[in-house]
Structure 1
Amino acid sequence: MKAELDKNILIFLLSAIGLIVFPHVYHIPPAVFGFFCLLLGWRFAGIWKRNWLPKMPVILLLAICGIGLLYSQHQGIFGRDAGTNLFITALGLKLLEIKAERDLYLISYLAFIVAASQFLYEQSIAMAAYILLVCCALLAVLVAINSYKMQTSAALKTSAIIIAQALPIAVALFILFPRIEAPRWMLFKDLHQNKTGLSDSMEPGSISDLVLSEELVFRVKFAGAIPPPNQRYWRGPVLSYSDGKRWTQSSFQNPLTRPSVTGAPYRYTLLMEPQDKNWVFALDMPQEFSPPLTLNAAYQLVTSDRHDKRAEYQVTSYAYYNTGSLNASEYKAAIQLPAEPSDKIKQLVGQLQGFDGAPDNFIDQLLSYFRTEDFHYTLTPPVMDNNPIETFLFQTRRGFCSHYASAFVYLMRVAHIPARIVTGYQGGEMNKVGDFMEIRQADAHAWVEVWLKDKGWVRVDPTAAIAPERIEREISMDRRTSYGIATANNYLPRSAYDWLKQARQLWGSVDYNWQRWVINYDNKNQSSLMSSFGINNLKTMVYWMIAVVGSIAAVLCWFLLYQKPKAPDNKALLFYNRFCKKLSKHGLFRGAGEGAKDFAERAKVKLPSLAKDIDRITDVFIKLRYGRSASEEDLQQLKSLVALFRS
């Protein structure tokens, strides 16, 4: 390659590599990313200042520094993060070793691996489009390396055509190729992956931290009727034990008795986002579901499958149910108190007829007490480190759903009425474009279950008495704004905000279908899809795959190989042979199978004074012979150049 051509290809290659590594700024340690940027910038400077490039001893020292940097991050030897850091560091170091065309190939292949590693972190359709574009640029580098004086725009166009030609076969293989799940021993645990969400314990105010988060938890698509907002309780961990401040799950697991259900069912598909717990949030009360889901003793769905990847489940729930009676152990766990209640607490329970009235009446009295007294619902309650329940009831009277749930259960238990806290999510925002519901961390909620004779566990939500809009209204960004969370609605006209909301829902619908039908396309979904076409075994699937891929390949081959003979083509060869005949007078004979480019390079060595004319004739001939945009004017130009050439 010529020096000038090397310069253009290097700029092209380094720019593509920079675009490939850039998204990893959110995934790798800042030190590793900074080290790579230093190496990339150094190599960029070396394009114009070759003497600035490091010698082998310096490169060896940089390699040792890179190894030390990787070791200092303590991210292990195996796994996603360790492998990504290693590849990015190796890519940066290899950039300083570019000496021959072979190095360009090696760096390009290594860059493709780094590009693919991005999907280990993010699998959105936007990221897929971005990686496709940067890989197109990287492929254009390979095209430019193997082309003669091809411009950047032409190389990009050629690489785009190659990718477009490969996409049909890639789609066919994606749909038909047997899905093979990796064995569990090959799944490296990522110990540094942070996920936020509900915990298996609760303190006053702990859930309020989540209401500021728009992180998606799961999406739901209903097969029929959609429950009203006041029935959208997505059940999570059930907390029965309290030490006076923290509520945790009871260590006692009693045998599960399936509740009896009545009324119309709600059938829906859950698409759970990756999380660090094996919880699956379903509407009260889940009744029909398939493995790997199971229902634990607290009527919470859990999965035995991997919970750190996106998963889809089919569930049927009933809004009206009866869980039946309690045994002695369940009753004891449901009335547990951390200590003897104070006289003020007993006086309040007595005032509300908790000791001598029916449980239903005490529940109504307590809800009325919260509603009529000076209680307030807030996301920023005062700190209550010591004796938080009494402080909330008699002093601050300001709290989030966790405060009201804790106080309600405590007062129920003082009255010897079994009660417990249920955490999960309440509500959800309906995406009208895709006709599915999105539940986010901001929808985190805590409510109460009280056990009543002949009814079993009954849901009671004290928050509804204080902030009914938290329960009754459709969950939306408007509601979160009313709670004091700054959104675009605070600063934009209503029409602009509505437009942004529709755009957001449209994008959410596209992303939902991408996640469900592409990212979550596993062996189960493939089997279901293939069965609809009558493909019920591996042998039939392989036949289909061969037939579809073969058909696509045949069509592509026809377009690629069949080209109408170009009128100027034979004449161009005739004029070029005249040019070769003139060079033969100086002992320059074109060898059998020798390309025009190689022959020109050999001729220029022997006739340096005619190098410019030789290049011009060769360029026009290659364009006429192999190019797609050759014209009659180019043929006339070649004829004129050959006629004027004097060796």
Structure 2
Amino acid sequence: MINPAYNKNILIFLLSSIGLIALPHAYHLPLPVFGFFAVLLVWRFLGVWQPQRLPKGLLLLLVSVGGLALLYSQHSGILGRDAGTSLFLIALGLKLMEIKSERDLYLVNYLAFIVAASQFLYEQSILMAAYILFVCCVLFATLVFINSYVANTRVALKKASVIIAQAIPMAIAIFILFPRVEAPRWLLFNQQQQAKTGLSDSMEPGSISDLGLSDELVFRVKFTGAIPPPQLRYWRGPVLSQTDGKRWTQAKDLSYQQRAKATFSGTVYQYTLLMEPQDKNWVFALELPAALPKTLRQNAVLQLLSVDALNQRTEYSLSSYAQYNTGASTPQEIQQAKQLPATPSYKMKQLVRQLGGFDSTPEVFIGQLLTHFRQQDFHYTLTPPLMENNPVETFLFETRYGFCSHYASAFVTLMRVANIPARVVTGYQGGELNAVGDFLEIKQAQAHAWAEVWLDKQGWIRVDPTAAIAPERIEKNIDINQLLPGGAIHYVAPSSEAQAAFNWLQKTRQLWGNVDYSWQRWVINYNNANQSHFLSSFGIEDFKDMVYWMGAIIAVIVATLSGFLLYQKPTTVDHTLIVYKRFLKKLAKAGFNQGVGEGARDFAERIKPKLPTHAPSIEEITEAYLQQRYGVKASAVGLQHLKTLVNHFKI
């Protein structure tokens, strides 16, 4: 049974630890499941002071059956990441209802460690890792409570922290050198609800503007050399060729075979791209990638697609050129890029004729149309008016307020009216520079749409109508504080005090962003390939070398810790232990010896039945010794009291 003197302290400490461990799951698991666990936890807390209120017999059986029924109703089974985590959480809550012995405390403790580890199935940030390390330290302190009779929370936490700190160097060595075992795909949990993406494989007026204020990270980019200027940072995504007049979609026939080989010239940009989890297999490369890793494919419209699902962070090394020629196109591709949902209206044809679309070269018409956007009172806004019917004409001839999707769709439509092949390209434009780590962060706020036009002997060329009407959108990142109530861009010069505060906050944010980026690259994304690359720089090439190095480093760590423990300076004389050993000698003369590794309390419980007349004295001496040596109320008076008890003890 649990020692009554420490029962309440142990339970309160353990239940508090479990509450901390389960707390992050409130964000991930269904509310009824977490609510059921919370009720059980509160119920068990009340049972610390009123044990008679805990469920027993039939009531406990009904509560258990209810928990299983709730689990099945929320997940339709027990397989998968969410269902498995919910199962462990509910099992932990039910086990709390029947704590009767130290064995139950151990089982609850070990189950709580599993629940803590399951948090990494949802989030792997450095903050979450620090939080889980903290709660595991608190949970480990519970084991210290149970095994050493430490009634002081601070002392228990200190002991647990020291033990964990001693284990960290060995954990780091094993993490770096132990072979990375990649789980088979059929063993991976379905994490689709965790995967995120902002862009869609279709576009409607205003669909991209919905992302304009989102601070959600999409990917990070680290360049080997110079970073391209903002006007060249176009990160290519889905290409949309089909339209019904309102909605733009991808062409149906998009094979992985490129129609012609692109040629490149000018500056090459080499970079490492770290994608955040998403539910699509799209990889947003800088236009236009030339060298691709084996895990990427390029479809007919030059969009990069991953062979594997991107439901976890994935890193790619790429090379791109800002100057390129996409090469010849197929008749089918040209035909798709001329498709119109209906015969153009008179106003549309008149505008194209006015701008020279029917008579001049495509290059001249493109220039005239961009000039038209600049000079005819068009406005760039994140909150354009609603355009339900015929949105392109409504935008061109009535509202003249739009986001990048409005300008791109209107531009491509006018190109097609002039019988010039054109299509919409979606992706991201720009990127916020982290000056501390010298890398770019691309967020959903940088979601963008632009146009591609087919020109003879030049291939598909990029034309961005947004750059004509709002060049600051391309040259700077939009700040939500610079938006007027209508959504138009408005730059206000801040005061010197506000600017200083902003600079400090930005530097702090970038510093943290750099720490998080390094954590994601070198810890979370430390897979087989990264391990091989890292270890090869130290001359560790194969499995045998890894094992030798790991064994050697662990041996050095163990020897260092052992030496530290064995050759510490002598501590002060423990008078309490000296007095207790006098007590043990008196018992030894009567034939009662303390066993190797046997604690003071266990020894007392073993010999009391054999010395019933001395049992009260043995119990009193043992409690005084434990309190004086491990408790919070140790004092000279307590030591003197222990001496008096031992002096008067006789067999």
TM-score (norm 1): 0.93
1:86 aligns with 2:87: yes
- Which stretch of structure 1 is more off in the superposition, 572-581 or 396-405? 572-581
Other-structure match for 2:184: 183
Task: Tell me the residue number matched to 1:555.
Answer: 560
Residue in 1 that maps onto 2:12? 11
Contact between 1:352 and 1:362, CA under 8 Å: does it hold in 2?
yes
Q: CA deviation at 1:245?
A: 1.1
The aligned length equals 639
Deviation at 1:607, TM superposition (A): 4.0
CA distance in 2, matches of 1:291, 1:420: 28
Q: Which position in structure 2 is the counterpart of 1:265?
A: 268
Aligned counterparts of 1:458 and 1:595: Cα–Cα separation in 2? 81
CA distance in 2, matches of 1:4, 1:616: 10
Task: Return the alpha-carbon distance in structure 1 between the equivalents of residues 586 and 556 of structure 2.
Answer: 48
Aligned twin of 2:626: 619
Taking the aligned partners of 2:308 and 2:388, their CA distance within structure 1 comes to 39
Deviations 1:428-465 (A, max 9, x none): 10001111100000100000001112211111111112
TM-score between both structures, scaled by the size of structure 2: 0.92
Q: Which residue of the partner structure matches residue 50 of structure 2?
A: 49
Q: How does 1:80-479 map to 2 (within 5 A)?
A: 80-193=81-194, 195-253=196-254, 255-256=257-258, 257-473=260-476
1:329 partner amino acid? Q
Which residue identity is paired with 2:224? A
Structure 1 counterpart of 2:473, which letter?
R
* 8 Å Cα contact 2:576/2:639 also seen in 1: no
Q: Is the 8 A contact 1:408 1:448 kept in 2?
A: yes
Q: Displacement, 1:467?
A: 1.2
Distance (whole Å) between structure 2 residues aligned to residue 583 and residue 72 of structure 1: 62
Q: Which residue of 1 aligns with 2:542?
A: 537
Residue pair 1:236, 1:279 contacting (<8 A) in 2 also: yes
What is the distance in 2 between the residues matched to 1:596 and 1:364? Answer: 92
3-state SS of 1:34 partner: helix
Instruction: Provide closer, same or farther for how the CA distance between residues 410 and 639 of structure 1 changes in structure 2, counting only shifts above 3 A.
Output: closer
**Whole-Å Cα distance in 2 between the matches of residues 51 and 635 of structure 1?**
35
Which residue of the partner structure matches residue 518 of structure 2? 513
- In structure 2, what is the Cα distance between the partners aligned to 1:222 and 1:203? 33
Give yes or no for contact 1:433–1:506 (8 Å, CA) kept in 2.
yes
Aligned to 1:597: 601
Does the C-alpha gap of structure 1 residues 50 and 567 become closer, same or farther in structure 2, counting only changes over 3 Å?
closer
Deviates more, 1:554-563 or 1:499-508: 554-563
RMSD over aligned Cα atoms = 2.8
Where 1:220 maps in the other structure, the secondary structure is strand
Alignment check: 8 A CA contact 2:141 2:156 kept: yes
Q: Deviations over 1:49-104 (max 9, x none)?
A: 11111112111101111111112213543211111111111111111011111111
Distance of aligned partners of 1:304 and 1:194 in 2 relative to their CA distance in 1, 3 Å threshold: closer
Matched AA of 1:216: L
Residue 333 of structure 1 deviates from its aligned partner by 1.0
For 2:148, the aligned partner's letter is S
Instruction: Answer yes or no: is the 8 Å Cα contact 1:232–1:283 preserved in 2.
Output: yes
The residue identity in structure 2 corresponding to 1:4 is A
Q: What is the distance in 2 between the residues matched to 1:646 and 1:591?
A: 17
Residues 466-508 of structure 1 show CA distances to partners (whole Å, capped at 9, x for unaligned) of 1111012256666668957999x99993332222211111110
Deviation at 1:265, TM superposition (A): 0.5
How many angstroms apart in 2 are the aligned matches of 1:197 and 1:86?
Answer: 32
- Do the aligned partners of 2:579 and 2:643 also contact (CA within 8 Å) in 1? no
Larger displacement relative to structure 2 (390-399 or 511-520): 390-399
Cα shift at 1:581 = 5.3
Matches within 5 A, 1:481-492: none
Partner SS state of residue 73, structure 1: helix
Deviations 1:324-346 (A, max 9, x none): 23332121111111111111111
Answer yes or no: is the 8 Å Cα contact 1:420–1:449 preserved in 2: yes
Structure 1 residue 572 displacement after superposition: 6.5
Q: 1:153 to 1:606 in 2, by over 3 A?
A: farther
CA distance in 2, matches of 1:439, 1:480: 20
Displacement after TM superposition at 1:423 (Å): 0.2
- Structure 1 window deviating more from structure 2 (180-189 vs 555-564): it is 555-564
Change (3 A) 1:327 1:2: closer
> 2:582 is matched by which residue type in structure 1?
R
Counterpart in 2 of 1:504? 509
1:578 aligns with 2:582: yes
Q: Deviations over 1:608-644 (max 9, x none)?
A: 6546851465237856xxx9xx99x799858844675
Contact 2:202 2:248 in 1 (8 A): yes
Amino acid at match of 2:9: N
Q: Which moved more, 1:380-389 or 1:430-439?
A: 380-389
Partner of 2:212, secondary structure, is: helix
Do the aligned partners of 1:579 and 1:642 also contact (CA within 8 Å) in 2? Answer: no
Deviations 1:339-395 (A, max 9, x none): 111111111111111001111111111111111112111111111121111111111
Contact 1:148 1:597 in 2 (8 A): no
Runs of 4 or more consecutive aligned structure 1 residues displaced over 6 Å after TM superposition: 484-487, 489-492, 633-636
Task: Please tell me the residue identity of whatever aligns with 1:506.
Answer: L
CA distance in 1, matches of 2:252, 2:577: 87
CA pair 393-614 structure 1, distance change in 2 beyond 3 A:
same
Which range moves more in the overlay, 290-299 or 109-118?
290-299
C-alpha change, 1:212 and 1:581, in structure 2 (3 Å) is same
In structure 1, how many angstroms separate the alpha carbons of the residues matched to 2:612 and 2:121?
A: 51
Unaligned runs of 5+ in 1: none
Change (3 A) 1:620 1:91: closer
Q: Deviations over 1:282-328 (max 9, x none)?
A: 11111112110122111111111231110111111110111123332
Post-superposition CA distance 1:24-72 (Å, at most 9, x none): 1110011111111000000000000111111121111011111111122
Distance 2:74 2:627 in 1: 56
Per-residue deviation, 1:574: 5.6
Cα separation, 1, equivalents of 2:541 and 2:604: 60
| Partners of 2:47 and 2:53 within 8 A in 1 | yes
- C-alpha distance 53-354 of structure 1, shift in aligned 2 (>3 A): same
Q: Which of 544, 551, 563 is matched with 1:546 structurally?
A: 551
Work out the CA distance in 1 between the residues paired with 2:81 and 2:646. 64
CA contact (8 A) 1:578 1:642 kept: no
Partner Cα separation in structure 1 for residue 223 and residue 577 of structure 2 = 68
Distance 1:223 1:391 in 2: 46
Measured after TM superposition, the shift of residue 424 of structure 1 is 0.2
- Could you tell me whether the CA contact under 8 Å between 2:195 and 2:278 is conserved in 1? no
